[in-house]
Structure 1
Amino acid sequence: MSDPISRLDQFRANTPGAPMKSAAEVRRRGDQIRRRQRTLVAAGAVALAAVVAGPIIFLSAGFGDKAIEPQPAPAPSQTPSTVAPSPSASAPASDLTRANLPSEDDLVAEDPYPQWVLEQTYDGEGRGDHNECLPTLADSGALASFRRDFIAEAGQEYADSAGTLKAVVAEFGSADEAEKARAELSDAASSCTAVDGTEVAGSLPVEGGVVTGGDINVVTYPSEDPNTNAGWEVATAVVAVEDRLVVLTRRRGAQDYVSPTTLQTSAVNAAYRLVGSSPPPATASSSASSSSSSSASAPAAILNDAHLVVAGSLPGLPMEGESSAIWQQVAPQPTPTLYCQGAWLSSLKAAESVSREFRLENGGSQIGKVNVTVLEFAEKENADAAFDTVHGWLDACPASLDDAKLFTARPVESIQIGATPEVDRAAQALAEYAADCGGEGCDATWYDHQTVAQLGTRLVLATHAEAGGPCPPTRACPPEEASDYTEWDNRVAQTVEATVDRAFQDLP
C-alpha cells in the first residue's frame, strides 16, 4: 500500500455533516445510473445441484387451507384456464407477455422429486393466491403481470410430496420502482406476517447472468394435521431484472430445512426469460436433473462460497474499554459492492460471480462495512476490460457524486497486496462521505477503502469502510504523524489480503 503520510496534507477536518442517504435512496441512485439492457449476458450461471441435508417427511393429505388472514385476493375466474387481467395488466406502457414466464425446461427439480410440469397459465396474478406471505404485485405498483403454475410430473415417485411451484412475472414503470417492490416483497417473504406461527428457516442470494438483484427466503409454519410431524415450507425467490420482477414460490410439506439451491438456479433461468432471452445451456434444468450426455458435458462451476472471505479472517476494530468489535456476515444488501460503483456488476458480463457482505456494530451503531464480490470471466481479455472499467469507477466515482456529499481523500492508485498467489494488478481509492445521523446534523463520516484486484480471468472487488469523524479512524485525532495511520492501514491491508487469498486460492 502507499505511504499513508501522503494523507496528512489532504485530510479535511470539516467533514460534511449532512446525513448519508437511506438504503432506499442508495437503490434509487443505482437505478438512475443503470442502463436499460435487454441482451443476454455472454455466459450464465451454472446449474446448482441440491444436496438433501437430512430426512424429510412430507404431508400426504395435500395442501389444505390454513386458518390465516392473507391479503385480499380477487375472486376466481369462472374459466380457470383464463383469468381476466387486472386493469394494470392492460396498461399500454408495458410490453410484458406470457413469453416472459419461465417454462418447464427452466425449472430444476430437487432430487429425488420428478420434473416440474405446467399446470396452468394466467393473465394477471390469477386468484392472487400464489404466495400466502406476499401482497399482490398490483398493490406493489405493477403495470402488468402474468402467472404460471407448475406441479410435479404425475405418476412419478414422490410426485405427491413434491409440492407446487408458482411463477409470477411483472413489469413496473421504472427500474427504481421494480427494485423498491423487490425489497418490499423480499421483506414480506422473510417475515411472512400474514401467516400465524411462521419461523425463518434460511435464505440464499440470487446472483449472476442478467440478475439485477434478488434473494430467496424460506419460512415454515405448523401443519394443522395433528397426526403429522411435518410442517409447511414456503420458499420465495424475488428477483429483479431492470424494470421487471419474477417471483417463484415453492410450497411443500417438510420436516427438515434443505437449502433451496435448485430454486436458486431456477430463479436465474427465469430471469433470462424475463428479458426475452434463453438461459445459457449450462443452467438448463435437464443438465441438473438428469444424467443425460448433455449434463455430463456441461462445464462445472468455478466459483463457490469457498472463494469468499469469512468473518473470522477480518480484523477487529479496537474499541475504547473493549478488545475489539466482531464482524458479522449479513444477508445480501440492496446496495452496490463499491460505493463508487458506476453500474450494476452485471454490466461487466462475468461468467460467474459470488458475493458476501459483513457489518460491524457497537452499541447498536454500525461502525464497519465489508463487501466482497469475486468475478470469473470467460476470457482474460474480458477480465482486463472489466478491471479497467472498475478502475474508472474508482477514479471518477460516478455513482455517488450526483446526489451525495462526498469527497475523495486521494485518487485511485496502484497497490501491492501481500497475498499468495501474487496478483497481476490491483488498485485502491479512499472515498469519504457523510454518515447517517438520524436526520440530524453531525460530523460522522465513513472512510471507505475500495479495492479491485486481478489475477488472470478473475477479479476481486472489496470494500473496507470504517466510521469516524471529525477525524478518520486513526490512533490520534487529529493525526499528526505517519504512525497514527499504521493501525488503520494494517486493518485495511488485512481485509484485502484475506479476501484475495480466498478468491485466488485455486489459481496457479
Structure 2
Amino acid sequence: MSDPISRLDQFRADTPGAPMKSAAEVRRRGDQIRRRRRTLVAAGAVAVAAVVAGPIIFLSAGFGERAIEPQPAPAPSQTPSTVAPSPSGSAPASDLTRANLPTEDDLVAEDPYPQWVLEQTYDGEGRGDHNECLPALADAGALATFRRDFIAEAGQEYADSAGTLKAVVAEFGSADEAEKARAELSDAASSCSAVDGAEVAGSLPVEGGVVTRGDIDVVTYLPEDTDTNARREVATAVVAVEDRLVVITRRRGVQDYVSPTSLQTSAVNAAYRLVGSSPPPASTSSSASSSSSSSSSATAPAAVLSDAHLVVAGSLPGLPMEGESSAVWQQVAPQPTPTLYCQGAWLSSLKAAESVSREFRLENGGSQIGKVNVTVLEFAEQKGADAAFDTVHGWLDACPASMADAKLFTARPVEAIEIGTTPEIDRAAQTLAEYAADCGGEGCDATWYDHQTVAQLGTRLVLVTHAEAGGPCPPTRACPPEEASDYTEWDNRVDQTVEATVDRAFQDLP
C-alpha cells in the first residue's frame, strides 16, 4: 500500500542525525584519510538487528574504519576516468573506486515495480545530468566521482512506469568538506530551484549502519509535455559517510496522488558500499537465527502482522447493478493512491512497528465503480497507537491532504461509530468525503462517495476506505434519495466492508 503524496513541512521526521565530531577528531580523521589504510569494524551486529526489524530503517549509528579489501569492481567501461585535480600539491589522491557504487541487490524496488537492473556505469558523473535539481559534485569540491544508472527489469509489469534510478558516489578532502557538500546538496534537492514550478512532496532522514548523516527529499513538477497527464517526480537521497557522499536519484512520472518515493533502505545499503563493505542481510531465516543465538548478534523480533490480517475479496459486498446480480471485487497490485483520501501525511509518519496493506477495485463495463483500501498498523506500545489514532482522526476531520481541491467537500463530520466484531474494539471513527472523479479531462458529474474509517484495539490500528462511484446522486436506491430507507443498502455495504476488515485484522487479539 502506498502512502499519499505529502507536501507539508510536518512530514519531515524529527529524528536527529548522528552527532558531529569535535574539531580534533575531524583533524585526526583527516590524517587517517591521507594514509588510506582503513577497516570497517563496528555497526555489524546492531545494524543487522535493526535492518530486519522493518522496511523503514532507523539503525543505531556505529562506524569504525573502512574495509581494506573492497568488493570486486564491475568490468570497466570505455568511459575515461575523471578525477578532479588536487587543489594543492599536498592534497591526497582519492582511492574511491567503482566498487563503492551500489549494486542491483542493494536497491529496493517497492511493489508493484520490478527489480532494478544495471544499465551503465561511468567513471565520473557520466553523460547528462543525473539530477536536474543538483549542481555537479565536482563543483562542490569532490576529488573523484563514479556513477551507476539502473532501470526496471525489461518486459516486467509496471517496468515502463518505474522510471530510472541513478547513484553517484564522491570523495572529498575531509569529513567537514563532505558534510558541507551534503548540506548544500540536500538544500538544493529540497527546493529544486533549478526547475520552474517544483513543489515539495516530502522529506525524511536517513540513519543507520555506517551513515554519518543523510536526507531524502522529494519534489514534483509539471513537465513541458503536459499531454502526459502526470507530474515529474524527483526523489533525492544525499548520504554522507565521513569524507564520502552517495547521491541516489529516482525519477519517474506520477499522477497527482502517488505517494513519494522512499529510498531509505537503498540509501543505507549504498552507504555500506561507500566504505567498501557489504550491507547486512535484509532478513534472517529461522535456522540462521537459531544458529546465531549463542553469538553476540541480536536478532529481530518475530513479525506480528501478516497477510492473514487482511480482508479477502470474497468478504466484500457486491454492488448491485442494473441487469446484473452484482459486480465482483478484485484484489489488485498496490496502487499509487493513499489508503485514506484525507490522509495528511505518509503513513510512515505514524511510526508503526509493522504494517500490511491490500487494495481492491471493482469495475463494470471497463469503468471503475468501487475502491477498497486497507492498512493494518501494529505499534510497539499502546501510547504510540493512541497517538496515531488521534492523528488519523484529525486527518478525517480536516481532510488536509493536498489533493483536497475546490471540488472536494466532506459530506459529514467525522464521528464515532460502533463496529460489531469480536473482540470488541476500543474505538473507531468514520467520515464520508465526496470528490470529483477523473473524467479524462472532460467535464462530467461523476463523483466518488468515500467512507473512511479508523479503528483501534490496543496496539493495533486499521484504516479502511470504502468508495463507490456515483453522480449526480450518491449510490442510493433512489435518485435523488428522498427517504432514509433509500440509504439502507449503501450503508449496509459500507458496514459489511468495515466489519469484515476489522474482524480479520483483530482476529488474533484477546
Category of TM-score, reference length = shorter chain: 0.5 to 0.7
Pairwise CA distance, 1:274: 12
Report the Cα distance in structure 2 between the residues aligned to 1:496 and 1:132, rounded to whole angstroms.
44
* Cα gap change, 1:19 to 1:465, in 2 (>3 Å): farther
1:464 matches 2:466: yes
Pairwise CA distance, 1:267: 8.8
CA contact (8 A) 2:84 2:144 kept: no
Deviations 1:61-96 (A, max 9, x none): 999999999999999645888799999999999999
* Cα gap change, 1:62 to 1:492, in 2 (>3 Å): closer
Pairwise CA distance, 1:119: 16
* Cα gap change, 1:3 to 1:225, in 2 (>3 Å): closer
Pairwise CA distance, 1:359: 0.6
Q: Give matches, 1:327-476, under 5 Å.
A: 327-400=329-402, 403-476=405-478
Pairwise CA distance, 1:302: 1.1
Q: 2:321 aligns with which of 313, 319, 322?
A: 319
Deviations 1:185-235 (A, max 9, x none): 999999999999999999999999999999999999999999999999999
* Cα gap change, 1:154 to 1:453, in 2 (>3 Å): closer
Pairwise CA distance, 1:430: 0.1
CA contact (8 A) 1:450 1:463 kept: yes
> Which protein has greater RCO, CA pairs closer than 8 Å, 6+ apart?
1
> Mind listing any 5+ residue stretches in structure 2 that lack a counterpart?
none
CA contact (8 A) 1:117 1:150 kept: yes
CA contact (8 A) 1:56 1:255 kept: no
Deviations 1:275-305 (A, max 9, x none): 9999999868999697774667421111111
Report the Cα distance in structure 2 between the residues aligned to 1:150 and 1:502, rounded to whole angstroms.
39
Pairwise CA distance, 1:353: 1.0
* Cα gap change, 1:327 to 1:164, in 2 (>3 Å): closer
The secondary structure found in structure 2 opposite 1:282 is: coil
Moved more, 93-102 or 403-412: 93-102
CA contact (8 A) 1:50 1:111 kept: no
Deviations 1:405-456 (A, max 9, x none): 1111100000001112111110000000111122221111100000001111
* Cα gap change, 1:466 to 1:160, in 2 (>3 Å): closer
Pairwise CA distance, 1:487: 0.8
CA contact (8 A) 2:34 2:92 kept: no
CA contact (8 A) 2:42 2:62 kept: no
* Cα gap change, 1:203 to 1:167, in 2 (>3 Å): same
* Cα gap change, 1:313 to 1:342, in 2 (>3 Å): same
Kindly report the root-mean-square deviation, in angstroms, between the aligned alpha carbons of the 2 structures: 17.2
The secondary structure found in structure 1 opposite 2:185 is: helix
Pairwise CA distance, 1:54: 27
Task: Kindly tell me the number of residue pairs found equivalent between the two proteins.
Answer: 508
The secondary structure found in structure 2 opposite 1:493 is: helix
Pairwise CA distance, 1:18: 48
* Cα gap change, 1:17 to 1:455, in 2 (>3 Å): closer
CA contact (8 A) 2:5 2:258 kept: no
Q: Which residue of 2 aligns with 1:200?
A: 200
Report the Cα distance in structure 2 between the residues aligned to 1:387 and 1:195, rounded to whole angstroms.
38
* Cα gap change, 1:338 to 1:497, in 2 (>3 Å): same
CA contact (8 A) 1:45 1:283 kept: no
Pairwise CA distance, 1:245: 15
* Cα gap change, 1:81 to 1:172, in 2 (>3 Å): closer
Pairwise CA distance, 1:324: 0.6
The secondary structure found in structure 2 opposite 1:133 is: coil
Moved more, 264-273 or 315-324: 264-273
Greater Cα radius of gyration, structure 1 or 2? 2
Moved more, 210-219 or 283-292: 210-219
Q: Percent identity?
A: 92
Q: Which residue of 1 aligns with 2:51?
A: 51
Moved more, 238-247 or 293-302: 238-247
Report the Cα distance in structure 2 between the residues aligned to 1:177 and 1:221, rounded to whole angstroms.
31
Taking structure 1 as the reference length, the TM-score comes to 0.52
Moved more, 261-270 or 356-365: 261-270
Moved more, 91-100 or 363-372: 91-100
CA contact (8 A) 1:308 1:502 kept: yes
* Cα gap change, 1:50 to 1:377, in 2 (>3 Å): closer
Report the Cα distance in structure 1 between the residues aligned to 2:92 and 2:21, rounded to whole angstroms.
34
Pairwise CA distance, 1:351: 1.1
CA contact (8 A) 2:435 2:447 kept: yes
CA contact (8 A) 2:169 2:274 kept: yes
Report the Cα distance in structure 1 between the residues aligned to 2:451 and 2:208, rounded to whole angstroms.
25
Report the Cα distance in structure 2 between the residues aligned to 1:26 and 1:467, rounded to whole angstroms.
61
Deviations 1:283-335 (A, max 9, x none): 68999697774667421111111111111111111111111111111111122
Report the Cα distance in structure 1 between the residues aligned to 2:25 and 2:465, rounded to whole angstroms.
20
CA contact (8 A) 2:18 2:212 kept: no
CA contact (8 A) 1:46 1:282 kept: no
* Cα gap change, 1:75 to 1:507, in 2 (>3 Å): closer
CA contact (8 A) 1:118 1:149 kept: yes
* Cα gap change, 1:41 to 1:503, in 2 (>3 Å): farther
Q: Which residue of 1 aligns with 2:32?
A: 32
CA contact (8 A) 1:18 1:442 kept: no
CA contact (8 A) 2:83 2:145 kept: no
* Cα gap change, 1:460 to 1:61, in 2 (>3 Å): closer
Pairwise CA distance, 1:249: 15
CA contact (8 A) 1:308 1:374 kept: yes
Pairwise CA distance, 1:506: 1.2
CA contact (8 A) 1:269 1:283 kept: no
Report the Cα distance in structure 2 between the residues aligned to 1:350 and 1:13, rounded to whole angstroms.
13
Taking structure 2 as the reference length, the TM-score comes to 0.52
* Cα gap change, 1:124 to 1:373, in 2 (>3 Å): farther
Moved more, 76-85 or 374-383: 76-85
Deviations 1:146-168 (A, max 9, x none): 65799999999999999999978
Moved more, 15-24 or 412-421: 15-24
* Cα gap change, 1:342 to 1:328, in 2 (>3 Å): same
The secondary structure found in structure 1 opposite 2:141 is: coil
CA contact (8 A) 2:376 2:461 kept: yes
CA contact (8 A) 2:40 2:66 kept: no
Pairwise CA distance, 1:179: 26
Moved more, 106-115 or 24-33: 24-33
Deviations 1:119-142 (A, max 9, x none): 999666879999999999999999
* Cα gap change, 1:429 to 1:180, in 2 (>3 Å): farther
Pairwise CA distance, 1:354: 1.0
* Cα gap change, 1:140 to 1:306, in 2 (>3 Å): farther
Q: Give matches, 1:135-284, under 5 Å.
A: none
